[in-house]
Amino acid sequence: MRKNEKTYRLYKAVFIPAIIILMVEILFGMFFTEQFGTFLNNTIYWVGDNFGWWINILSVLSIIFAVCFVIFKYGDVRIGGKDAKPEYTTWQWISITICGGVGVGLLFWAMGEPIYHFMTPPVAAGVEAGSREAAIFAVSQAMFNWSFVQYSMYSLCGLAFALLTYNTKKSLSFGSLVEHSFNRKIFWLTTVVQVFAVFALASAVSNSMGAGLLQIGAGIESVFHITQGNMVWLVIAIFVGTFFIISCITGISKGLTKISSITMMLLFFLLGYVLVFGDAQFISKISTEAFGNIMDNFWSKITYNNTMVPEDQWSNEWTITYWNAFIIFAPVIGMFLARLGKGRTVRQFLLFNILVPSIFCLIWVGIFAGMIMKVQSSGLVDVWAAVQEFGMQTTIYQVLGNMPGGTLIQIVFLVTVIFSFVTLADPMCSVLATLCVRDQQIDDEPPIKIKILMGIIVTTVSYLLVTSGGSDSVKGLLNLGGLLMTIPMLWLFLENFRIGGKLLKKKNHLMDSDKGNNISLKKEA
């Protein structure tokens, strides 16, 4: 049931500083475009060289902590209490979880990155560029980058918010995390964390949309022969921005569930098309070997770095950038996933939210990356040359255009990219609005006006990212934002143990009787 918007109070201490920071970012992008792009490009290497080890450790911990909650008694706790019932069907949960977490990123980076890994592998991989071993490494690394690590991060953060809101009856906010951790309200700490969260998330969604603009632009150029450029990207940004804002203001139970279902059907159609009209035998072979490579090198794939080879920037440009991107999204996607967890046990919540999207991503990347390896190695299309000349966003269109019904399938893929971004931007703008108001309960929708404002900001920043430096600017902002969010994410990880331990002592898995930990945040000024 939707709460009347007039009952909400704007969280000015969060909203105003976050908006100022974002506006400064927009102004720099508008008036110092070249310098803005150069700064973001350099950020990739500064963050990776100085803090890559820290990012890798947190990524390892996300897997270990998730396993602990699944195999130990913490997994028995039911979100919402012993008698709580799920509010979403299994299909709705599957489609929202996959689409809400994947967004356009899987369709952009995971389609173009395998060819980079194939032709420019890291020194640490110990493979020769363009070889059979490099092909297997390329497919396995792309599969791994988009599976277990990111969904472990998302799910652990989502679990903390789900338990805080459904089991301890607190509002859906970082203020609840602060209050539960210290047994009292700390206004300044809550404000600082939420300001960083709003900035990081707005930047992250803008990055994802920036990647989407590049790929949609490439699709339009490939299908309709309209050259990519600032004006084309502007038109696309306005169209896609309007689309996801309209979806966002209709609420999770209306717009998002329907769009997610449509997106899932489009994704499954594309998978089936490639298997039927591509080389299914080759794809099956290389995907299987790639999965075996993951099993053999699971932990080293998380911790790649450029130790003793500082000139090798592969880890900074790929794995560390990915982990940073997921860290940005983790706390706020967690706030969104928490709304889907009612009535599920902790074990079910983690297994479902980690394994289902991970398996989907393994299959998706295995099929499409395998197809790219086949096309490149057979000489049918020089994908690497096309990437060098036209950009990574063109990769999939180059490949699809040479398959039966190429133009039609390119259009289908183009539509899928648009829908995929909407399924990510919709819930993320909703979370952004949630962070900017007080007393937001987990089942309530935030104010429409704030949703619209956040949607406009995200759209503007994404356009400036693309015009200032393309994919390198996108990666740079991901690294900077990810570094800022490492502490809130680790905090949420550790708080799970504390909350879970308390709830195990309660027969109904609720903290209703613990009045000392059920203080409202309404009095914060």
Rounded CA-CA distance 376/314 in Å is: 21
pLDDT bin (cut points 50, 70, 90) of residue 251 is low
CB distance 358 to 151 below 8 Å: yes
- Please name which of 429, 391, 93 lies closest in space to residue 240, comparing C-alpha atoms: 429
Highest mean pLDDT among 72-81, 323-332, 387-396: 72-81
Specify the long-range contacts of residues 227-230, CB closer than 8 Å, at least 24 apart.
Answer: 230/467
Rounded CA-CA distance 476/485 in Å is: 15
- Token pair recorded at residue 387: 């990437």
Residue range 285-296: average pLDDT? 97
Amino acid letter at 145?
A: N
pLDDT tens for residues 504-513?
999 899 986 4
Rounded CA-CA distance 351/151 in Å is: 10
pLDDT bin (cut points 50, 70, 90) of residue 428 is confident
Highest mean pLDDT among 142-151, 187-196, 423-432, 515-524: 142-151
Rounded CA-CA distance 34/36 in Å is: 5
Rounded CA-CA distance 461/197 in Å is: 16
User: Is the pLDDT confidence value at 4 over 50?
Assistant: no
**Predicted model pTM:** 0.86
Instruction: Give rounded-to-5 percent helix, strand, coil for the chain.
Output: 80, 0, 20
CB distance 66 to 155 below 8 Å: yes
Residue 90 pLDDT:
83
pLDDT tens for residues 334-374?
888 898 899 999 999 999 999 999 999 999 999 999 999 99
Rounded CA-CA distance 173/166 in Å is: 12
User: Is the pLDDT confidence value at 148 over 90?
Assistant: yes
pLDDT tens for residues 209-243?
777 788 888 888 888 888 888 898 899 889 888 88
pLDDT bin (cut points 50, 70, 90) of residue 100 is low
Residue 178 pLDDT:
93
Is the backbone of residue 312 left (phi > 0), alpha (psi -120 to 50) or beta? beta
pLDDT bin (cut points 50, 70, 90) of residue 482 is confident
User: Is the pLDDT confidence value at 133 over 90?
Assistant: yes
Q: Which of 35-49, 83-97, 135-149, 244-258 has the lowest mean pLDDT?
A: 244-258
Residue 520 pLDDT:
39
Enter the DSSP assignment of 169.
-
- Using CA of residue 326, residue 304, residue 321, residue 307, what is the dihedral sign? positive
User: Is the pLDDT confidence value at 459 over 80?
Assistant: yes
Residue 273 pLDDT:
93
The percentage of residues in the chain with a pLDDT greater than 90, rounded to a whole number, is 42
Rounded CA-CA distance 503/249 in Å is: 35
Distances (CA, A) of 100 to 27, 79, 280, 330, 337: 30, 20, 29, 12, 9
Give the chain's mean pLDDT: 84
Residue 521 pLDDT:
36
User: Is the pLDDT confidence value at 519 over 60?
Assistant: no
Residue 518 pLDDT:
41
- Please name which of 225, 229, 199, 197 lies closest in space to residue 214, comparing C-alpha atoms: 229
Task: Find all residues with CB under 8 Å of 272, minimum gap 6, and list them.
Answer: none
Enter the DSSP assignment of 511.
-
CB distance 442 to 165 below 8 Å: yes
Residue 492 pLDDT:
96
Residue range 158-174: average pLDDT? 91
Strand partners, 10: 437
- Give ∠ CA 448-449-455 in degrees, rounded to 5: 90
Residue range 403-423: average pLDDT? 85
Rounded CA-CA distance 165/113 in Å is: 38
- Please name which of 492, 508, 507, 510 lies closest in space to residue 69, comparing C-alpha atoms: 492
Enter the DSSP assignment of 421.
H
Residue range 430-440: average pLDDT? 77
pLDDT bin (cut points 50, 70, 90) of residue 57 is very high
User: Is the pLDDT confidence value at 78 over 80?
Assistant: yes
Task: Find all residues with CB under 8 Å of 100, minimum gap 6, and list them.
Answer: 256, 260, 333, 336, 337, 423, 424, 427
CB distance 328 to 428 below 8 Å: no
Residue 393 pLDDT:
74
Residue range 429-437: average pLDDT? 80
Residue 513 pLDDT:
42
Other Cβ atoms closer than 10 A to 272: 11
The percentage of residues in the chain with a pLDDT greater than 70, rounded to a whole number, is 89
Beta-strand ranges (E) seen in 329-466 are: none
- Please name which of 471, 125, 455 lies closest in space to residue 303, comparing C-alpha atoms: 125
Residue 246 pLDDT:
83
Residue 390 pLDDT:
77
Token match 């991107």: residue?
A: 325
Other Cβ atoms closer than 10 A to 369: 29
